[in-house]
Amino acid sequence: MKKLLTLVLITRPNQVLLGMKKRGFGQGRWNGFGGKVEKGETILEAAKRELFEESSLKSDDLKEIGLIDFEFVGDPQILEVHVFTTSKFEGEPTESSEMRPQWFNVKDIPFDTMWPDDHLWFPLFLSGTKFKGYFLFEGHDKILKQTLDKVDSL
């Protein structure tokens, strides 16, 4: 059983916009913006919606750059995360109930307070390389198995 989720990474020259997750899944970690895909919406529509809900930013230019499957030992639910990015957006990053946004220089990305998979695939996202990944987690901090491949199309 797969659960469809989205992740949006907003960039500007030499910087990435991350949000500190204030509650729920991933609380206490910096991440891009995203959430569940609801019935009746496309994955892209869900990505745009969650971006606006969590950061107040709008973009019609989201490009899918990654597809990651996450599995957790003992849990049959696989998370299928569709990763999008853009440097074309409108609005000012604004704190929401879910996220506290902050710009980070690419050389100072706070991987120590992000999901453990991020430092493995961020370099691909930052270099504009499309990728497919699989990570088997034990709990929320330990990666037991992983695959990460560059792809021409998702």
18 touching ligand CJ6, by CB under 6 A: no
Among 84, 117, 124, 133, binds ligand CJ6 (CB under 6 A): 117
Please pick, from the candidates 10, 17, 54, 118, the single residue that binds ligand CJ6 as defined by CB under 6 A: 118
Q: What DSSP character marks residue 112?
A: G
Task: Identify the CA nearest to 34 among candidates 64, 7, 66, 69.
Answer: 7
Nearest-angstrom CA–CA distance, 87 and 53: 18
Q: Which residue is nearest to ligand CJ6 (CB)?
A: 115
Which residue in the set 17, 51, 70, 98 belongs to the binding site for ligand CJ6 (CB under 6 A)?
70
Q: In angstroms, rounded to a whole number, what is the distance separating the alpha carbons of residues 89 and 91?
A: 7
Residues 73-92 that bind ligand CJ6 (CB under 6 A): 79, 81
- Residue 101 CA, chain-centre distance (Å), reads 14
Residue pair 55/17 in contact (Cβ under 8 Å)? The answer is yes
| Among positions 9, 31, 84, 101, the unique one binding ligand CJ6 when judged by CB under 6 A | 31
Interface residue list for ligand CJ6 (CB under 6 A): 5, 7, 25-26, 31, 34-35, 70, 79, 81, 115, 117-118, 137
